[in-house]
A = this chain, B = another copy of it.
């Protein structure tokens, strides 16, 4: 099944958390989808959209954001391969925020109706989907804490810790280097800071020997110190032990 294999990473990730039967796995791999590539900053979902499709990241990254009336932007989360971008739009009537591709990315576009059918028929699959949206919500909660109560240094450190733990969970290992094409302006919009202050804060983290970051390549030099700086506790990510 050479074609179906695009969904295998998703099946693998869900299998770790929920007990999927062979039938569940086959049904997932049999989902109809088309592949679609997006360029840097291309919109995948727009606020107000009523879409009939859900996007699963096969390659590359994406980010959620909302725009304020004055043009300011707040990034709400980043997403990595094997993650659904808009599973919630299958059930809510209308998209309440935007999703953009972070870099050159490839999505599996799955008809919403096929996902709903599958969820109705297969309790284990439904559970995996629901848990995914619940973990997303948990991440949002932690982000409220991050931008609400941490200083600049801790916000940046925490963001990096989260991304690293999530990347490790899909097999991108160790302390890097990670291919992370996030600009400082995007990090600023994710942490509620300005690009200028983000720059100075990153320099401070580098100067102190916690991270190395340039040209879209991130390496962790002192993981414990980084977690400490970011007040990071990965419980909220609800990862399964490997």
Contact = CB atoms under 8 A, between A and B. Distances in A.
Interface of A: 47-48, 64, 66, 68-70, 72-74, 76, 88, 91-94, 96-97, 120, 123, 126-127, 130-131, 133-138, 140-145, 147-150, 191-192, 231, 235-236, 238
Q: From DSSP, what is the main secondary structure of chain A's interface residues?
A: helix
A138 to B, nearest CB: 5
Contacts of A136: 137
Contact of A147 (B47, B72, B127, B148): B148
A76 B141 contact: yes
Nearest to A147: B148
Contact of A141 (B48, B94, B97, B120): B97
Chain multiplicity (copies): 2
Closest 6 CB pairs of A and B: A148-B192, A140-B140, A137-B137, A147-B148, A74-B145, A74-B149
A147 B68 CA distance: 12
B92 A131 contact: yes
Contacts of A192: 147-149
B140 A141 contact: yes
Contacts of A93: 238
Most buried by B among A74, A96, A120, A147: A96
Contacts of A123: 120
Given A93-B238, A94-B235, A127-B91, A144 B140 contact: yes
B131 A91 contact: yes
B69 A231 contact: yes
Contacts of A48: 235
Nearest to A73: B149
A142 B236 CA distance: 19
Most buried by B among A97, A130, A138: A130
A214 B70 CA distance: 31
A135 B191 CA distance: 23
Given A91-B130, A120-B123, A130-B91, A144 B69 contact: no
Contacts of A238: 92-94, 96
Contacts of A70: 231
B144 A76 contact: yes
Given A73-B149, A74-B149, A150-B68, A133 B137 contact: yes
